[in-house]
Amino acid sequence: MSIRNAAPELAAVTLPLLPEAAPDAIVALHGHETIRRDRFVRELCALAARLPAGRPLLNLCGDRYHFALGLFAGIVQGNLSLLPNSTAEGNLAALQADYPDLVCLTDDAHSAGALPALRLDTLLAALPADAATPAMPQIPAQQRVACVFTSGSTGRPQPHFKTFGKLVRNVRAQARRTWSTTGGPCAVLGTVPFQHMYGLESTVLLPVLGGGILCAPRPYYPADVAEQLARLPEPRFLVTTPYHLRNLLASGIAIAPVAGLLSATAPLANELARHAEARLQAPLLEIYGSTETGQIATRRPALEDLWLLHDDIRLACEGDDCFVDGGHLEARLRLGDVVEPVADGRFRLLGRHADLINVAGKRSSLGFLNHMLLRLPGVRDACFCLPREGETARLAAFVVAPGLSAATILAGLRQQVDAVFLPRPLVFVDQLPRNATGKIPAAELEALIARHITRKP
Amino acid sequence: MNATPNEALEREVAAMIVEALNLEVEAASIQPDDALFGDDGLGLDSIDILEVALVVSKRYGFQLKADSEDNFAIFASLRSLATHIAAHRTT
């Protein structure tokens, strides 16, 4: 943000770390423990005092409560939290090259690999239990608290900084929309990773900053999701994805009453949304957003096709390029999708820009993936593609790499990209049908897919 | 290790995985101790695992549940998955 845009007095504005609430309000459920607000503040302030001043944090905690403590302790101490889009080995090495003084926060012995690490769980266990609760920390609205990364199209992750003031504003807008759908704040259970924007906002920030209850478990199998849900106090809220949701419903397991459900990361079919609402007797809210923008709109797909922007977000389109600004946004940002504004803050989603892809809630771009494939030794030409759309869509890739085995190529790719982006199948060809400008025409790519990739119906 | 008590089940499960995920490998080529999940071996990821879990629940009559903090420990190898199924199956 440029100084010109900020009112001079804004630089001095501070916000309380947590919103107003009673000291004994429940903030989190962790294992068999109920964490009340005064304990949460006490623990995070004590941890903050033990963080190395000024060094960026890479929070690799696998436990959602530990992760939240590390994030909020970093905010108090002024440490920037780095949230890479992938924790693949090569990606973390590149991150360390850009942030040589980064320190990992972990709660196990192996996640940090060779990077310098602080064991948050050990620090936590060593805290005195009877310390007084400190005053609520006041955080400058302009303080950069988190840096999220998008894959970019050039092979270099692009950083996006989030300031505390904007993050709080974004979560408040989400909380208003979400809790008005559920009838009030809920205990929030998530099946999604909280190191990514959607899980971070909806399973960590929404409960902690939006008056709900953070629930530490990360259930994955439908039976575990059902069991953890049943353990929560009512009202309950489930944060999930179309893929997890379809699987949960298909399992036929009985599910405890929920006040609402949240879905994001991939388009939710209206039929699945209606089925889910009918089975669970609760509203299902879908979120629209991206790493750069955070959440900017919602809809209830069982009832409506149109999206409703969060308060104060403005949308404007120039041809196929659409931009949003206002609200919590740090700048005017281009959307990764083609959308059609309707009226009253509503819009229709028409489609994605071709380059962006999203598999199981993880975002990347074909440009980035192609780059990663092409830089492997022995790969002469290569092209990723998405043979079909849908919740379980998988990428495929064509390579020209005489003498290389699929195993070698996949091993090289795994160093750089998340496993969900590995091509399935990886097809070896003699050459790719590039035209005079070096591009592969869409029709040629279609023909290549039809010729080489057979799929189950 | 030599032959295991679950060898027949391991073969059955290998075939089931290959079929459920439409993999381009021969089921017979999957060794009992090959990693199923993660960076080595078969390289299944979290999406595949939910898919296989659903097929397991339909075929063997029980719902998969994580035994530990690690949701994917069951999928460490064909052997671990077959052992888990043998211990919990109802059909």
Q: Which of A243, A455, A456 has its CB closest to that of B47?
A: A243
Domains and CATH numbers, chain A: 3-352 (3.40.50.12780), 357-452 (3.30.300.30)
Amino acid A178: pLDDT: 97
Nearest-by-Cβ selection for B66 from A224, A360, A414: A224
- What's the rounded mean pLDDT across residues B46-70? 87
Question: CA A206 to CA A172: how far, in whole Å?
Answer: 8
- Residues in chain B closer than 8 A to A247 (CB atoms): 50-51, 53-54
Q: Do A247 and B54 touch (CB under 8 A)?
A: yes
Task: Please tell me the distance in Å from A426's CA to the nearest CA on chain B.
Answer: 10
Residues with Cβ < 8 Å from A24, sequence gap 6 or more? A36, A37, A38
In this prediction, residue A4 carries a pLDDT of 44
Question: Percentage of chain B with pLDDT > 70?
Answer: 92
What is the largest distance, in Å, between two alpha-carbon atoms of chain B?
A: 32
Cβ distance A219 to B71 less than 8 Å, yes or no, reads yes
Query: What residues does each domain of chain B span?
Result: 7-88
Neighbouring C-beta atoms of residue A450, cutoff 10 Å: 10
- B81 contacts in chain A (CB < 8 Å): none
Judge if ipTM > 0.85.
Answer: no
Q: Which two tokens stand for residue A25?
A: 């309000």
Contacts of A269 (CB under 8 A, 6+ apart): A242, A301, A391
Percentage of chain A surpassing pLDDT 70? 93
Chain B residues whose CB is inside 8 A of the A455 CB are 22
- Provide the 3-class DSSP secondary structure of residue B5: coil
From the candidate CATH numbers 1.10.1200.10, 3.20.20.150, 3.30.420.40, 3.40.50.720, the one assigned to the domain spanning B7-88: 1.10.1200.10
**A38: Cα within 13 Å, side-chain hemisphere:** 9
Provide the shortest C-alpha distance from residue A137 to chain B (in Å): 33
A221–B63 C-beta distance less than 8 A? yes
The per-residue pLDDT for A94 is 85
CB pairs under 8 A between A and B: 62
Tens-digit pLDDT profile for residues A19-49 = 999 999 999 999 999 999 999 999 999 999 9
Note the pLDDT of residue A279.
96
Q: Confidence class of residue B47 from pLDDT cuts 50, 70 and 90? A: confident
**Of the partner residues A220, A251, A456, the one whose CB lies closest to the CB of residue B22:** A456
Q: How confident is residue B34, by pLDDT bands cut at 50, 70 and 90?
A: confident
Nearest-CB residue to A251 (from B22, B43, B57): B57
Residue A60 structure tokens: 């690799």
AA letter at A309: L
Model pLDDT, residue A389 = 65
Cα gap A110→A132, rounded to integer Å:
34
What pLDDT is attached to residue B1?
46
B53: nearest CA partner in chain A: A221
Between chains, do B49 and A456 touch, taking CB under 8 Å as contact? no
Cβ–Cβ gap B50/A410 under 8 Å:
no
More confident of the two residues B27 and A457: B27
A414: closest CA of chain B, how far (Å): 7
The residues on B that touch A, with CB distances below 8 Å, are 22, 24, 38-39, 43, 45-47, 49-51, 53-54, 57, 63-66, 69, 71-72
* Interface with B, mutate which of A195, A220, A249 (most B CBs under 10 A): A220
Q: In this predicted structure, what is the pLDDT of residue A332? A: 92
The per-residue pLDDT for A437 is 67
Low-confidence residues in chain A, pLDDT < 70 = 1-11, 151-155, 351-354, 360-361, 389-392, 437, 454-457
CB contact under 8 A, B63 and A253: yes
Q: Is B2 helix (H, G, I), strand (E, B) or coil?
A: coil
User: Which chain A residues have any C-beta within 8 angstroms of a chain B C-beta?
Assistant: 62, 218-224, 227, 243-244, 247, 250-251, 253, 359-360, 392, 410-411, 414, 419-420, 422, 425, 455-456
Do the Cβ atoms of A221 and B64 come within 8 Å? yes
Cβ separation B39–A247 shorter than 8 A: no
pTM of this prediction exceeds 0.80: yes
* Token pair 């709080």: residue: A168
Buried b (16+ CB within 10 A) or exposed e, B62-80: bbbbbeeeebbebbbbbbb
Q: Using one digit for the tens of pLDDT, what is the confidence trace for A96-129?
A: 999 999 999 999 988 888 899 999 999 999 998 7
Task: Write down the pLDDT at residue B35.
Answer: 86
Selection from B75, B88, B66, B61 nearest residue B17 by Cα: B75
Q: Which pLDDT value is given to residue B10?
A: 94
Higher-pLDDT residue of B24, A392: B24
The predicted structure's pLDDT at residue B67: 73
- Give the minimum alpha-carbon distance from A46 to chain B in angstroms, rounded to a whole number: 26
pLDDT at res. A456: 43
Comparison of pLDDT for B75 and A8, the residue scoring more: B75
The pLDDT score that the predictor gives to residue A140 is 97
Distance from CA of A294 to the nearest CA of B (A): 24
CB contact under 8 A, A392 and B64: no
Nearest to A154 by CA among A367, A305, A301, A434: A367
**CA–CA separation, A245 and A61 (whole Å):** 25
